[in-house]
Amino acid sequence: MPWLMGVFLALAFLALLVSLKSWRDVKKSPYFFLRRQAEKRLQSYLTLSVVLFAAAFGVAAYAWRAPTDDAPRMALLSNTKPVRAEVIALVEKVERAAVAETAVSANPVVNISATAENSLFADVVSLPAQFDKFEPTANLNNDTELGTIQFSTKISDNYEAVSPTRLFPEGSFTLYATFAYKAMANGMEWAWVWRHNGEVVDGGNEIWNYGQEGPGYIFFAPEEGFASGDYSLEVWVNGELLTRSTAVMNNAAVAAGN
């Protein structure tokens, strides 16, 4: 804005100077015809200078006016009803599970059968037989590790979770579980087990052929949809549970905005 005001002022002063010259011509010219032309120029340039001065002051008034606050003001109320006690307990349960799984991931290579009484995975006794069908041709390394599982309904091209969470609505959709792995070796046996409220509902078993490290994912989309409750995923390598996480399906908790 200041530059525009400067242009208007410069033009206005220039027109004023031409007007003064025309005024001198009117006073000094000895001929009527020349005086008449000078009078017309004087009138025209005076009018132009007045218009340009008015435009400059208008721009100045607009530029230095008090700023207006056009930011929208709104309050987002996800749910105005009090959160039910069972929903609060459910969210606290999800948060406790996150803390427990983070603690386990610091030392991911755990022999469940040998440490079942002290392990945070004590409720998992062993790998189900239907997901333990292969003999590994490579042993676990001392630093073999599977990272913390993240759940989401979408993944990126780099196999990373998009907007990961542990709380989902009930219904039909694809649940992705992403994790990082390192110090793996082709020839290891790995298995994944999905449980709903502790009962095995799906899983798989393969010989590992995905290299030493990188991102990985597993997905689950039951035909009947996800029912209310806890859906846990376990990932086993050579008969040992290396990572586990739980997603909670509950419409009431999602509606409450938790």
The pLDDT, as a whole number, for residue 78 is 39
Q: Is the pLDDT of residue 210 over 70?
A: yes
Arithmetic mean of pLDDT, 118-126: 53
Q: Which amino acid is at 24?
A: R
The pLDDT, as a whole number, for residue 14 is 77
The pLDDT, as a whole number, for residue 5 is 64
**What burial class does residue 181 get, using C-beta atoms within 10 Å of its C-beta: 0-12 exposed, 13-18 middle, 19+ buried?**
buried
The pLDDT, as a whole number, for residue 192 is 96
pTM check: above 0.85: no
Selected residue with higher pLDDT from 27 and 198 = 198
Q: Which of 44-53, 201-210, 221-230 has the weakest average pLDDT?
A: 44-53
Mean pLDDT of the chain: 76
Q: Is the pLDDT of residue 208 over 60?
A: yes
Length of the chain: 258
The pLDDT, as a whole number, for residue 25 is 65
Query: Are 244 and 149 in contact, with CB atoms under 8 Å apart?
Result: yes
Secondary structure (3-state) at 180: strand
The pLDDT, as a whole number, for residue 74 is 43
Q: How far apart are CA 136 and CA 228, in angstroms?
A: 36
Arithmetic mean of pLDDT, 206-230: 94
Please list, in sequence order, all residues whose beta carbon lies within 8 angstroms of the beta carbon of residue 8, skipping any fewer than 6 positions away.
52, 53, 55, 56, 59
The pLDDT, as a whole number, for residue 114 is 31
Q: Which of 5-9, 49-53, 82-86, 193-197 has the weakest average pLDDT?
A: 82-86
pLDDT band at 118; cut points 50, 70, 90:
very low
The pLDDT, as a whole number, for residue 166 is 94
The yes or no reply on domain 85-255 and CATH 3.40.50.10420 is: no
pLDDT of 84-112, one tens digit each? 555 555 555 555 554 444 433 333 333 33
User: Rg of the chain over CA atoms, in angstroms?
Assistant: 38
Number of H helices, E strands in the chain: 5, 9
Arithmetic mean of pLDDT, 115-122: 40
Extract the runs of DSSP E, i.e. beta strands, from the chain: 145-146, 150-152, 167-168, 175-182, 189-196, 199-207, 214-220, 229-237, 240-249
Exposure string over 89-104, b if 16+ CB within 10 A, otherwise e: ebbeebeebeeebeeb
Selected residue with higher pLDDT from 173 and 41 = 173
Q: Are strands 150-152 and 189-196 parallel, antiparallel or unpaired?
A: unpaired
Tokens of 210: 């995905």
pLDDT of 26-75, one tens digit each? 566 565 555 566 667 767 767 877 776 777 777 777 776 766 655 544 44
Q: How far apart are CA 96 and CA 197, in angstroms?
A: 17
